[in-house]
């Protein structure tokens, strides 16, 4: 597929031939699907940065100069992403923006003042402001942040939240590693971020398993040492990170002991919202266990969180997802109906209801519900993917193709990218002769399997097609 993309880029009218010849080495193999003339580049991966980098490949201006590796880019937002990604790669790259209109934004006064207060301005502008401008000002601020300023707990906390909100987890992890071990509270916050980021991005960070175990062990030791001296909300964030890590590694007894210890430390001092989040997080990880007693306790805690904060959909969704996974469809339907009456944010619950319909084989209804949920929250691209999957199961191939064309793969988690790849192959193979289709599918799946050996469904399909000849 990498060669396939290289071939297409070599004939693209907007890309200088030198890009196709020598410039594709910066694209990450395994994060690219296919690109056809007249259509947007399809890309896959678990992080926005990689997806944006692949997207950038077809936006590089013809002024690309291979001899000195300078990229002249017409878009400020793309330049910011490019600068970040190239900085982390082998070799020396420079990015020069050649768009004076978008470069002419006046520098706000707050950007030149206190760094911590400037971060507050940026946090408030994430949802309401211009995304590329927020990125631009953040990069300006990052140039003013050094090891000394990072000793400020408030500044560090705000910076990490902002980086995580903007999807810049790779930078957040890099900054977290640089925190002084002599500052235990900040070190604990940084370790909690590292544990959570590693759980989410996994192989992308390329961190040895021993390092991640080390982060968790050090965080556990700090949490135990500080105990009563730590702020309850601060301690909760550390415990939640450790709880997820223990549960993900199958250490449920340690996980339960940790949460029970936290309860004994904080008592009734948690505010209602924090208490509900604690019950929800504790309950969720317990439902992942194999022991029936732990699972029952997990369900009880999930329901308690929903009762404590009935207006928050996330609590209801976690209970409903648990019931669906447990095969208790009637209980899930009743709970969803109650949640729709009690919480304002109904989009997530509608998505769970769509999942129920899908599992019941009611694919038309599932597609409609997924689409309704997606339209209410258009940033949730996985719902559009599920709608496409339901359309395919209902035999609506044209509708499935249309829905897939609207999915932004950069916003999908890795397992869903696998689903997207398989559905895309199914759409492309429909017009082929059956014998050619099978050979083509086998070839495409084999390439996917080589790129992503961890994708079990792809490997199973390759084996099945091979056996059938």
3-state secondary structure the chain: CHHHHHHHHHCCCCCCHHHHHHHHHHCCCCCECCCCCCCCCCECCCCHHHHHHHHHCCCCCCCCECCCCEEEECCHHHHHHHHHHHHCCCCCCEEEECCCCCCCCCCCHHHHCCHHHHHHHHHHHHHHCCHHHHHHHHHHHHCCCCCCHHHCHHHHHHHHHHHHHCCCHHHHHHHHHCCCCCCHHHHHHHHHHHHHHHHHHHHHHCCCHHHHHHHHHHHHHHHHHHHHHCCHHHHHHHHHHHHHHHHHCCCHHHHHHHHHHHHHHHCCCCCHHHHHHHHHHHHHHHHCCCCHHHHHHHHHHHHHHHHHCCCCHHHHHHHHHHHHHCCCHHHHHHHHHHHHHHCCCCHHHHHHHHHHHHHCCCHHHHHHHHHHHHHHCCCCHHHHHHHHHHHHHCCCHHHHHHHHHCCCHHHCCHHHHHHHHHHHHHHHHCCCCHHHHHHHHHHHHHHHHHHCCCCHHHHHHHHHHHHCC
Q: List C-alpha distances in Å: 213 to 198, 220, 264, 378.
A: 11, 10, 25, 37
Here the tokens at position 421 are: 């790849």
Mark whether 47 and 78 lie in a shared domain.
yes
pLDDT digits (tens, 9 = 90+) for 348-392: 889 999 999 998 899 999 999 999 999 888 878 889 999 998 998
d(CA 133, CA 139): 10
Task: Mark whether 157 and 128 lie in a shared domain.
Answer: yes
In which residue ranges of the chain is pLDDT below 50?
1-103
Contact predicate 80/132, CB 8 Å: yes
Collect all residues with Cβ–Cβ distance below 8 Å to 127 and sequence separation of at least 6: none
Using the structure block, give the residue that is written with the tokens 């330049």: 79
pLDDT of residue 453: 63
Give the separation between CA 119 and CA 139, rounded to whole angstroms: 11
Say whether pTM exceeds 0.75.
no
Instruction: Answer yes or no: do 113 and 69 share one domain.
Output: no
Residue 7 belongs to a domain: yes
| 211, part of any domain | no
Q: Choose one of 128, 144, 178: the last residue of a domain.
A: 178
Domain assignment of residue 430, yes or no: no
- Tell me, yes or no, whether 133 lies in a domain: yes
Instruction: Please report whether residue 345 resides in a domain.
Output: no
Residue at a domain's end among 97, 125, 146: 97
pLDDT at 303: 93
Is residue 92 domain-shared with residue 121, that is, in the same domain?
A: no
The predicted pLDDT at position 17 comes to 40
Pairing state of beta strands 94-97 and 70-73? parallel
Give dist(CA 457, CA 202) in Å, integer.
19
Residues 36 and 59 in one domain: yes
Residue 56 lies in a domain: yes
User: 103: phi > 0 → left, psi -120 to 50 → alpha, else beta; which?
Assistant: alpha
**Structural domains counted in the chain:** 2
Residue 47 lies in a domain: yes
Residues 11 and 36 reside in one and the same domain? yes
Whether residues 120 and 56 fall in one domain: no
Question: Residue 2, CB half-sphere, CA atoms under 13 Å: how many?
Answer: 12
Rg (CA), the chain: 24
Of 97, 116, 134, which residue constitutes the final position of a domain?
97
- For residue 275, the Cα-to-chain-centroid distance in whole angstroms is 26
**Whether 159 contacts 119, CB under 8 Å:** yes
Q: Is position 91 within any domain?
A: yes
Residue range of the domain that includes 36: 2-97
Instruction: Answer yes or no: do 89 and 125 share one domain.
Output: no
| The pLDDT of residue 296 | 93
69 and 44, same structural domain?
A: yes
CA angle 152, 156, 162 (to 5 degrees): 150
Which two three-digit tokens encode residue 381? 């691209």
């Amino acid at each position: 597929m990498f060669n396939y993309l290289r071939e297409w880029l070599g004939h693209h009218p907007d890309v200088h031939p030198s890009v196709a010849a020598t410039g594709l080495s910066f694209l990450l193999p395994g994060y690219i699907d296919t690109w056809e003339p007249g259509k947007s580049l399809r890309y896959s991966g678990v992080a926005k940065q990689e997806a944006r980098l692949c997207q950038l490949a077809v936006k590089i201006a013809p002024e690309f100069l291979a001899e000195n590796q300078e990229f002249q880019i017409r878009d400020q937002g793309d330049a910011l992403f490019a600068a970040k990604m190239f900085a982390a790669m082998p070799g020396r790259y420079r990015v020069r923006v050649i768009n004076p209109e978008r470069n002419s934004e006046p520098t706000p006064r707050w950007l030149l003042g206190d760094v911590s207060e400037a971060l507050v301005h940026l946090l408030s502008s994430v949802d309401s402001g211009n995304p590329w401008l927020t990125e631009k000002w953040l990069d300006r601020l990052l140039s003013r942040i050094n090891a000394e300023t990072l000793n400020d707990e408030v500044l560090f906390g705000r910076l990490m939240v902002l980086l995580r909100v903007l999807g810049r987890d790779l930078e957040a992890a890099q900054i977290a590693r640089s925190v002084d071990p002599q500052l235990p509270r900040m070190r604990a916050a940084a370790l909690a971020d590292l544990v959570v980021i590693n759980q989410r991005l996994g192989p992308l960070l390329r961190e040895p398993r021993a390092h991640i175990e080390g982060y968790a062990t050090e965080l556990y030791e700090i949490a135990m040492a500080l105990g009563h001296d730590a702020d309850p909300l601060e301690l909760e964030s550390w415990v939640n990170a450790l709880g997820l890590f223990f549960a993900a590694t199958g250490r449920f007894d340690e996980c339960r002991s940790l949460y029970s210890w936290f309860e004994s430390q904080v008592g009734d001092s948690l505010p209602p919202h924090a208490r509900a989040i604690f019950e929800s997080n504790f309950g969720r990880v317990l439902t992942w266990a194999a022991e029936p007693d732990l699972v029952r306790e997990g369900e009880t805690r999930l329901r308690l969180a929903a009762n404590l904060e009935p207006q928050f959909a996330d609590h209801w969704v976690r209970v409903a997802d648990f019931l669906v996974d447990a095969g208790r469809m009637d209980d899930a339907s009743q709970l969803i109906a109650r949640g729709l009456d009690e919480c304002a944010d109904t989009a997530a619950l509608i998505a769970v209801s769509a999942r129920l319909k899908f599992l019941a084989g009611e694919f038309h209804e599932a597609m409609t519900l997924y689409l309704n949920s997606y339209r209410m929250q258009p940033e949730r691209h996985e719902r559009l993917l599920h709608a496409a999957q339901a359309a395919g199961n209902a035999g609506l191939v044209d509708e499935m193709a249309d829905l897939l064309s609207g999915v932004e793969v950069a916003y999908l988690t890795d397992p869903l990218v696998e689903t997207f790849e398989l559905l895309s192959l199914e759409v492309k193979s429909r017009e082929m002769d059956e014998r050619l289709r099978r050979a083509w599918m086998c070839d495409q799946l084999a390439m996917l399997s080589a790129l992503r050996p961890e994708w079990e469904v792809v490997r199973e399909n390759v084996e099945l097609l091979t056996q059938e000849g």
